[in-house]
Each structure stands twice: as structure tokens, then as C-alpha cells.
Structure 1
Amino acid sequence: MPAADVMTSPRLRRRPRLWSFGAATLSTVLVVGGLAACSDEPDPLAEATTLATALGEGLADGDLSGIAFSDVSADEATASHAAVVAAVADSPHDVELTEVVLADDETSGTATYTHTWDIAGNPWTYDTQAPLALYEDVWEAQWAPDLVVDGLESDEVLRLSRTTAPRADILGAGDTPIVTQRPVKRVGVDKTRVEPADLDGTARALAELAQIDPEAYAAKVAGAGEKAFVDAVTLRAEGGAYDFDAMAAIPGVLLIDGTLPLAPTREFASDLLGRAGEATAEIVEASEGTIAAGDVTGLSGLQRQYDEQLRGTPGVALEAVSEAREPRVLLAEDPVPGEPLRTTLDVGVQELADSVLVGQEVPAAIVAIRPSTGEVLASATGAAGTGTATTAMYAPGSTFKVVTALALLRNGLTPDTPLDCSAEAVVDGRAFVNYPDYPAGKSGEISLTDVIANSCNTALINASGQVTQADLASAGEALGLGLAQQPGPGVFTGSVPAEAEGTEHAASMIGQGQVQASPVAMATVAASVAAGTTVRPTFLAQEADPVDSDLPDAAAAPLTADEAAQLGAFMRAVVTDGGGSFLLDVPGEPVGAKTGTAQYGDGSTNHAWMIATQGDLAVAVFVETGDYGSTTAGPLLEAFLVGLA
């Protein structure tokens, strides 16, 4: 067969810890003087290519067992390969067999490979060639380190050094830095500076000042090596929350200065932003060499979700090193800083929302949205909750009556339509009543406006036959409930079942039953009213990949400006004539609101809600366990609106 005979094979890919190779399809690019299709004669090109394919797989995955070498054993080749690539063993490595060429006598040839590495996010590509030879009817390869890396000498191995890229900030409205590098102090005990008998007391004294568990830290110190520095905690250096002078005065305690990406305060949107810190072992392992031990990465929240964007690409210097000669640079790349994550959060509004929730002993949240744009200005979860503002699922209670009012308007009722606000409404044997302090003067036949302003449960239960459950679901969708979330952090946008009958449908009329919402979802309802159109809230002020969702992106029957105006009038009536009268004196534009109380558990405890609009602002306030919307959530809403004035 002529020397021009060439055969190719598909790409062979190395995946750390897991190898998978598809069946190879071999093809002759150029054959001069063809081969008999059914001949029993040996096919040198096919046999050489079989060896070359297996060798490529071995170069990709580091396992050369089963490969015939002319000069070393397969085990020796495998050990040599491992030594060469030890510094980059966790980095993804592609090996593509690009051609096999035989000499004229068909007893020797050359296999050419293209190698592509991902070295900490930096691509590295080169070609190598492997000599092949036929010996006693067996094709063999000749081992050398330059099969792994082009030009590598027999005594050289790879050495990798990394330079961490500057981590980018998380920005708020107007590109105001929110999460940025701020000073911290790494606090711990140096066991070489403390007498063994004093270690327990030292550890406990430091733990008390650092506000961590003394018992756990004392045990950690006791279990560490004799010369160990035992980390206690890394603390903010600013804000005056810790007595660092007192810590430093404890014998054996060290305070090491550093920086970490932090928000302005510990409370600032902490549940949403998450935190960054030293990468866990699991993060390092999953990164395939992109992240190394000691790197700062996102650990939760937006810091984790957008970690790849924020952390950038580390710089690398990959060298060939030996004891006999100077290192040779094979790859040198400068670090590429991360890209800032732009959010819609307004620093002042968020700080106010966080401060209003200080002291809440049960999960609580405040969400503020700019209706004209859908931008979330604040998303605050109290210290007792996790995900309360964005992903929690609660019955919205009477705040949902804004949705019910829209469904009734769409079915022909008007603001003046009289409804029966009876003492009791019975559906399928279940009795519904009003809240205990319901005003007696607003009972009997009252207008739909008065029903919403005074939050009469029984009137809406009595009217449940005038709208279907599908009508409620459609109205909820028009106000933003149940729509697909925008790109960004995970959000529960609410759920209104499209099918329910009897008591379940009746309960839905007053925001109970199977109706659920999060604070951000109910803030969206208020925002849609204020905007005069269906709002989908957004947390990001940058383009981002869409979120996969089975939910619709838009309402099938969007909210109209006329409908929104009428709902706005209902919400204003809550303030002027109903349970939100305490908001009449809030400075600034007129406030519209809706109170909400939702029973849960055995019915003896309540979720407390309020939603409100004021100009181009929509707010939802939620407290997981309280008395009523107006008495528990109401003061928080008032403090927030007054604080913004």
C-alpha cells in the first residue's frame, strides 16, 4: 500500500474520573489501489489505526494498559504519563486522532494527534506524533513523553502555577457597588503560642467574643495538631460589631487582615445575594481544574448562581521542568477579571427594608418593586427566615381579593354592585365568617368597593357562583401570578389552581384553599395595578439566559389600564374607608393598600400580609405568624413607606 494511505478516527475525550468512548467509525481519506472487501489478507492500515485509536484513548484517560510498546511495558508508560501530567491531571483533555500514515513497506508509520486542554479555563492546543511499527505481526507504539506534550524531553514534567483573577462586584441600581471587596479579619488560635493547659480557656474566650459556639470551637482546637493555627471565623472588620482589641489581647489569638466580597452590611439582602468564601472540596472537585483549593468562590445565592461570571478566569503559567535545565514556558495567560453582575436593587431602599425587619422573631419579608419597569428595588428576608421573600409559598389571604375583584369585574360586576356581606356564608356545609373585629356598619348589602375596602369574606363567598375557578386563575395571571420568572434568582411567582369546586373554590375567593404566593408574587400584583399592565418582576439589570419553565411568559388575558384603574380605586378605598386608614398620613403621593390575614395550621394562627402602592412603587410585607394584616404587617409597611418619604 502506498505511503499516501491515510486513515482517520474520531475525537477521543478524557473526562476526569469517568471515561466514555463511542464506537469508532474508521474511514480511508485516500487509498491508492483498493482493498478487497472480503479478503482474509491482513490490512496494515486498519491494524495500525486500531493501535493508534487505543493509544489516543490511553493518552486521553491516562490508562495505557493493553497498549503494546516496543521499548517499555504498558505499566511503565502509564506511570510515566501520570508523572508528566500530574500538575494538570484534573484538567479536561481532548485527544483527536487526525491521521495515520504508513511507510511504503507497510511495516511502520506515524499517528498524528491534536491535543486540546482546558487549563483553569484557558485553552491549550498542540499536535503530537507517535511512531508505529509492525513487529512479529503485532503493531507497537514507541513511548516517549513527547507523545503527551509536543517537544517534552524525557526528563521533563509539567508544572502549573495559577494567578487568581480579581473577583467582580455585584452592582445595584445606577451601578452602585453592593458586593465588593471589604476588609475582614481571619480570627483563630495559634497553638504554638499557648500553653496546653490554657488552650481550652483561650478557645472559649475567643469564641465568646467572636459570637460562635464555644463548645464546638474548643473541641476543634483540642483536636488540631500541636502546631496548628485553628481558624475560628472570618469577621467583618468594619461596623463595630466585634471587639477585635479584646480578641487580640487573648494570649495565642491571631487576627489576620484580608478582604472578602461582602455587601454593605451583614443583613443587606443576605438571603438573595448569598455569600462567597473559600471553595469547598466539592466545588473544587466539580470544577475540573477551573477552581483550586483556596480560591474564593460563590457559596450560595447570586454569588453562587453567577460565580463563573464574577470570578473570571485565573492566569496560568504552565512550564516544562527538569533538574537538568531551566524551566520552559509552554503556556502563559494573564488572569481575566470577572464581569460585574448588575442587579436592580436600590441600596437605600434595601437598607431600609432590612432595618424595618430587624427584631422579627418569625420569618418575615419586604419586597419593593418599581411598577413602571418591573425592577425589584428591595428584597428583604428577616433573620428568622430563608427564602421568605422570593421562594416561600404561603396562602396570601385577603391580599388576593384584588385578584378576586378583577375576576368579578370581568364577569360584569361594577364597583357599585351590591353584595351580601352576611354574618356567615355556608358552602357544602362549611361555614365562612369574617374576622372578629369586622365593622358592624359594613354588613348586609354593600357595594363591591366596600367589600374590598373592609375585606368582607362572606360577601365574596356568597358571590363565588358568579366566577369560575378558571376565572380566578386568569385574573391572577393578569396580575402576574403564575407567570414564568425572569432570568435571575429563583422566584415563586404564585399558583392559582385553574380547577376547584365547592369549598375549595369558595376558599380561593379569599386567598385560601390551594392558592399560594410568595411576597415577591404579591408585590407583583400590586405593581401590576400601579403600572396599568401585567408586570413580571426582574432582579437583573443585564442580559441573562432565560429560565426554563413550563409556565407562560405572558398572561392570556393581560390586565388593561381601565381594569388597573378600578383596582387602584379599590386599594385606595382600603386606606380612605377601610382597614388601612393608618396609612392616610404617610407623606408623599396617595397610598393604596390591601390587608391580608390567612389562617394556617389548625386555623388558630395567621399569616399577616399587606400590599401597597404609592406612585411608582409597589410593596408587599409579610410576617409568617401574627395577628392580622393591619396590626402585624401594617406597622412594618408604614415604617417602610415613611422611611422612604
Structure 2
Amino acid sequence: MRSLRLGIVVALVGVGSACSAIGGEDDQDTARALADDLASALSRHTLDDVPLTDESARSSFAEVVAPLDEVPVSVSVGDVQEVEEEGRADVTLAWRWELSDAAAWQYETSVGLTRGGDDETWSVAWSPDDLAPDLAEGDTLGLRTLTPARGDITGADGAVLVTERPVLRYGLDKTKVDGAQVARSARRIARVLDVDAPALVARAQAMGPEAFVEALVLREDDALDVLPAFRRVPGALAVRDSLPLAPTREFAAALLGRVGPATAELVDSSEGRVLAGDEVGLSGLQARYDEQLTGARGTAVVARGADDALRTLFEAPAVDGADLATTLDPGLQAKAERILAAAGADAPASALVAIRPSDGAVLAAANGPGAAGSDLASTGQYAPGSTFKVVSALALLRSGLRPDDVVSCPLTTVVDGRSFKNYDDYPASALGDVTFTRAVASSCNTAMIGNADRLRPGDLSAAAAALGLGVDHDLGFPVYFGQVPPAETETGAAADMIGQGTVLASPFAMATVAASVQAGRAVLPVLLPDHAVTQTPPDRPLTPAESSDLRGLMRAVVTEGSGQFLLDVPGEVGAKTGTAEYGEPDASGALPTHTWMIATRGDLAVAVFVENGQSGSQTAGPLLEAFLR
């Protein structure tokens, strides 16, 4: 949308011409001094204190130049040519208006000076085109803001994710109602649109008689159900417009963010970049990369003639915003969101992250309806439960334990007075002396805890770092990579082995762990390919033999352990389930549980999280299975 400010000018008189004859030195010096005074005054947007042949020109100039009052201008004197026999001189003025940091309007005009009166003093014969070339008597000046096109956000292979899409702006047209009907219509509109009625009524009553009082903006498709009831309200008006939107309202909403009218805080903190009424990024990537996506506004200086026709005197074009590239796969992102949404709006918070191990590309980062707009997929901080046993297994492999070694998996174990047990429906066939592979496949807590004394301080955090967990990176958007701090007690060390205690991770971090196992190195996830990130290799990188063993352990989860329901999923799937207790116990003494599942298949690594459920295999597992299928 463009904005126009117009000044008002009354008739101006005067002449301007150029000659070559030069008069006496005293006259020339006096004319030069007046020319310098004129340039100085014009640089202050005024003709005050400058002698004029027509005093009405002073106020007329002030009115016509008013739309440019806030634009810095510098005026300098070029040639001063006097025609002695005619008692006049022509002065060349060089103008430079600083319309923006990147655009200047520069030109020259010729102003006439005349000499007259008993004392033969010089005065300025001001005319409209002395202000700007081709400005005619009766013209008005104006400034137009040229709004750039906002850049798109793209996904894998350049697929457009966010672009201008049609919307309807619903509101009240106050030119159609007055008096008490304003409040009545505002209340009815609020009921139809399900918005805050008192707030809408207050705004409607406060705004001017010709205002459009916006109540809600809806996608064109979403708006169809609203139109019949809305149209019956006196003064109701739906205005067609467009906004940068993703394919659906839910599509990566927390990650991509939204665009809307700039808040007062944004305007104040922008140092002039953002103006009141601008549409800007308010959250997510839209906010973080708003300057890139917005581009730079342009400016045009226009003149309106007596016939109302507009002429452009100068234009500094707007610079359109640049696209922001991401690696999101539109199909996988939409699939992840459909799967999470199928649980219903009342379901617990959930998230799914998918990463391509070969290059770290983030293919999907979805949040379920229960997340209530939060980006739990990337920034959630939760105990990862038994999915962390992939990390614990690596630490134990490095201690010398082999996949075929026999370990003890008792029903319970006690550490420093605290009892630990396996999950309630742990298979009896996997108790007792079992291979390390079987202990991981069936997710035996007591076996992992029973071998915790094989590890030295720092071994667990080093193993985590080798799989990309607990090491922060600036990926160009907020991400929580988790933490594996040193344990302070024996019971803390035991709890850490099974992904409880002080160990925390996000779904994004656990997808990174799975991707690192599959890739055979610490994967650095990439969402924004143009955002340069330097990865510092872990102190003890993952070796080919270690990654091969870990892939074998995760495959055993599917072939003989808690992930056997994935056995008929096409391709070779590796997985790990997880459940983590948290919060306060219920009336029966049971604690609520976070549920997790991570998996790999070919060049794909996935993590699924549900904030509250029965177990990883029963709650998170079906969501992961649906995604892999």
C-alpha cells in the first residue's frame, strides 16, 4: 500500500532565466551574498528573512514545501550571472534532498534576483519552478512511500512455503452506521467472529466517522463459513487483501512465525526502519529475518496539478525483500502435522522432528495442537527417558562392553538407598542374565544402572557430544540441544544412565542423536542453508565401529525388543523407545510420564515426543509408525 502526503500552494509569481553578462564587482558581491543567504534559508525549509519581490511567496513556499519538512535538504549556490542593464541576476542552485540513507533527489534550478527601489537593493523573485524543475503554478507536492514486496520463505528444492495469499479483513465500516448503532454492530461482529466484544466496541467508538475498524483477518478459505452471518450486521465489511502465509494455518506455525501490524514497541526500537502501520514479522523466522524479508521501502516525490493529475518528479524505487531458504520438506512437514493433529485438540502436547542424516537437513519440525503455539519441537526441555540409552550405550561400549557381552537385568536395583526398577510391563523373558544387545532392545533400566560404575566422570557427556547432544550451535533460529551435566550423587549418576536425573533434551536434540548414529558422525542439523555455522568436532568423535554397534543395537529394538511393531515397516528401521517420569504423583502414587520414540530408516532420522502418555511404544510409537509408513 502506498501513502501520499500533499501540500497546498497558492499562486506564486516571478521569473527565472539565465544570462551571461556580468555587472560591476560590488553589485555582483551583493547578489552573491543574497544568493548565499537564500541557499542557507532553503536548507532550513524556509524563505524567512530573505527579501522577496512578492511577500505572498513566503507563506506559499512554506505550504508547498511542508510535505518535505522532515526530509533533510542541502542547497548550494552555483553561478551568479548578472544582467546589469536589466537590473536582474540569475542564480543557479544545486539541491540535494536526503530521502533515505540510500536515495537522494538531486537537481538544479535557476532563481531570479531583481534590483530595485531607491537604494537599488537586491530581492528574490521566487517562482514555483525555483523549488523543483517542472513545478507549475498551482501544483501541490507530495511524498509517496513505495512498499517493497516481502520475500517468500522457501523449503526443500525451492518449494514456496510462505508467500502472499488471499485473506479477508473483517470489520466495521463506520461510514455506514452512526450513533448507538456503532456499538450494536461492533458487538454483533464480535459475536460472529468470536473476538473480544468490549475491546472492539471501544475501538469502534474511539475511531473517526470514516474509519474501518478491523476485527479479524481470516484466510479466504477459512472465511467462507463466517460470511453469511457477518453480512447481516449493519456496517459489516469484509475487505479483500493478501498476507504472507504458509499453506495452512498450522504449517510449521511456531517455527515460521507470523506477519502482522507492527507494535508500538517494534516501531520505537527499530530506529526508523519500521513505521506505524507497517506489516512486519512478529514471531519465529518471520521476526528474526524481518529486515531481510521486508527489503527497503522506496520514496517518490509527486506533484498534483490543478486537474488532479499526478506527476512523478523523482522516484527511489523500493528494494523487494529477499527470500529466506529453509530445508523443510512440504510433504513431510504436512504429514507430521496431520499425524499429530489426529490425536485431537485436547490431546497432550506433542512434537515430531525429522532430519536427513547425510547432510543434516531438517525436513520436518512439527508441533501438535496441545503445544498451544509453543515450539516444543525445537526448544522443549524434557527428560528423554530411555531414548537416552543410545548415549549410555555408546559410553558403555567405549568402556569395553561389547554388544554380545552378558549383563545382569534384575527386576530392581538399589543405588545409595534408592530403588530403581524396569517399566511395569517389562518382559519377564528379558530379565536375568542377558546380552547387552537384549538389555538395550528391551530397555532394561537395571542393566544400564548396574554398569554405571564402568564410566568415569565426563564419559557420559562425551558420548552425548559425539552424537550431537548437549553441544550448542547457533543455527539461525532457537534450538535447545540438551544438557548432560556431571552427576553430583550416585543416585543422580544412576538416573542419568536412563535419561532421567539432570539429563534434558528437546525432540530436535533427540532427532540429532538418531541422525548421528545413522550418519556415523555428530550431525550438525541445518534448517537455513544460507546461515553459516562452524561445527567444532567433539573431543572424542564417533568411530565407524561405534556407529555400527549403535545401529545394531537400535535395529535389535525393532527385531526383538520394545519396537517390534515396526518390524513390517518397509526398509531397515532402527529405533529406541523412551518413558520419563516427571511432576507430582497422582492419588495412586503414580507419576505422569513423558513418552518418546526415535528411529532411523535409510537417510531419515525421526524423534517423536508426547508430553504425557503410557509409554514410548504405546503412545509415541504409533505416531512414529504412521510417519514412517
Between 510-519 and 189-198, report the one with greater CA deviation: 189-198
Q: 1:504 aligns with which of 479, 482, 492?
A: 492
Match for residue 7 of structure 1?
A: none
Q: Distance in 1 between matches of 2:182 and 2:66?
A: 44
Q: 1:166 aligns with which of 133, 149, 173?
A: 149
Q: Distance in 2 between matches of 1:379 and 1:195?
A: 49
Q: CA deviation at 1:84?
A: 7.7
Match for residue 405 of structure 2?
A: 417
Matched letter for residue 418 of structure 1: V
In structure 1, stretches of 5+ residues that fail to align are: 1-55, 63-68, 72-79, 96-113, 128-149
1:605 paired with 2:592, answer: yes
CA 348–198 in structure 1, closer or farther in 2 if over 3 Å, else same: same
Q: Distance in 2 between matches of 1:414 and 1:522?
A: 24
After superposition, residues 530-569 of structure 1 pair within 5 angstroms as 530-541=518-529, 543-544=530-531, 546=533, 553-569=536-552
1:374 paired with 2:360, answer: yes
Matched letter for residue 493 of structure 1: F
Q: Distance in 2 between matches of 1:509 and 1:463?
A: 9
Q: 2:417 aligns with which of 400, 404, 429?
A: 429
Asked whether the 8 Å contact 2:67–2:143 carries over to 1, the reply is no
Asked whether the 8 Å contact 1:85–1:157 carries over to 2, the reply is no
Q: 2:574 aligns with which of 581, 587, 592?
A: 592
Q: 2:444 aligns with which of 448, 456, 459?
A: 456
Q: 1:282 aligns with which of 255, 259, 265?
A: 265
Match for residue 459 of structure 2?
A: 471
Match for residue 343 of structure 1?
A: 326
Q: Distance in 1 between matches of 2:468 and 2:97?
A: 48
Partner of 1:445: helix, strand, or coil? strand
The alignment yields a C-alpha RMSD, in angstroms, of 4.0
Q: 2:566 aligns with which of 580, 583, 593?
A: 583
Q: Distance in 2 between matches of 1:273 and 1:197?
A: 42
After superposition, residues 255-274 of structure 1 pair within 5 angstroms as 255-274=238-257
Asked whether the 8 Å contact 2:487–2:496 carries over to 1, the reply is no
Q: Which has the larger radius of gyration?
A: 2
Partner of 1:395: helix, strand, or coil? coil
After superposition, residues 300-339 of structure 1 pair within 5 angstroms as 300-318=283-301, 332-339=315-322
Q: CA deviation at 1:582?
A: 1.3
Partner of 1:366: helix, strand, or coil? strand
Asked whether the 8 Å contact 2:190–2:200 carries over to 1, the reply is yes
Q: CA deviation at 1:192?
A: 4.2
Q: C-alpha offsets along residues 335-385 of structure 1, whole Å, 9 cap, x if unaligned?
A: 111111010000000000111111253221000111111000000012332
Q: Distance in 1 between matches of 2:399 and 2:67?
A: 72
Match for residue 19 of structure 1?
A: none
Q: CA deviation at 1:403?
A: 0.2
Q: C-alpha offsets along residues 415-462 of structure 1, whole Å, 9 cap, x if unaligned?
A: 012222112221111111111111111111111111111111111111
Match for residue 357 of structure 1?
A: 340
Matched letter for residue 559 of structure 1: L
Q: CA deviation at 1:231?
A: 1.2
Q: CA deviation at 1:190?
A: 2.3
Asked whether the 8 Å contact 1:88–1:289 carries over to 2, the reply is no
Match for residue 122 of structure 1?
A: 102
Matched letter for residue 373 of structure 1: D
Partner of 2:526: helix, strand, or coil? coil
Asked whether the 8 Å contact 1:424–1:431 carries over to 2, the reply is yes
Q: CA deviation at 1:526?
A: 0.5
Q: C-alpha offsets along residues 8-32 of structure 1, whole Å, 9 cap, x if unaligned?
A: xxxxxxxxxxxxxxxxxxxxxxxxx
Match for residue 135 of structure 1?
A: none
Matched letter for residue 605 of structure 2: A
Q: C-alpha offsets along residues 297-329 of structure 1, whole Å, 9 cap, x if unaligned?
A: 111100111111111111112579999xx9998
Match for residue 383 of structure 1?
A: 369
CA 540–94 in structure 1, closer or farther in 2 if over 3 Å, else same: farther
Asked whether the 8 Å contact 1:393–1:517 carries over to 2, the reply is yes
1:296 paired with 2:279, answer: yes
User: Percent of aligned positions with the same letter in both sequences?
Assistant: 48
Partner of 1:534: helix, strand, or coil? coil
Q: CA deviation at 1:244?
A: 2.3
Partner of 1:407: helix, strand, or coil? helix
Q: 1:405 aligns with which of 393, 400, 404?
A: 393
Q: C-alpha offsets along residues 99-119 of structure 1, whole Å, 9 cap, x if unaligned?
A: xxxxxxxxxxxxxxx999572
Q: C-alpha offsets along residues 173-219 of structure 1, whole Å, 9 cap, x if unaligned?
A: 01010000100000012244347555556444433443434565455
Q: CA deviation at 1:560?
A: 1.9
Between 178-187 and 218-227, report the one with greater CA deviation: 218-227
CA 294–223 in structure 1, closer or farther in 2 if over 3 Å, else same: closer
Q: Distance in 1 between matches of 2:314 and 2:533?
A: 36
TM-score of the pair, normalised by structure 2 = 0.75
Asked whether the 8 Å contact 1:483–1:554 carries over to 2, the reply is no
In structure 2, stretches of 5+ residues that fail to align are: 1-39, 51-60, 75-94, 108-129, 134-138, 586-590
Q: CA deviation at 1:248?
A: 2.4
1:639 paired with 2:626, answer: yes
Q: CA deviation at 1:288?
A: 2.6
Matched letter for residue 608 of structure 2: V
Q: C-alpha offsets along residues 479-518 of structure 1, whole Å, 9 cap, x if unaligned?
A: 0112232532111111111454411111110111111110
Asked whether the 8 Å contact 2:521–2:543 carries over to 1, the reply is yes
Count of residue pairs the alignment pairs up? 531
Asked whether the 8 Å contact 1:366–1:380 carries over to 2, the reply is yes
Q: C-alpha offsets along residues 69-93 of structure 1, whole Å, 9 cap, x if unaligned?
A: 999xxxxxxxx99x9898575x8x8
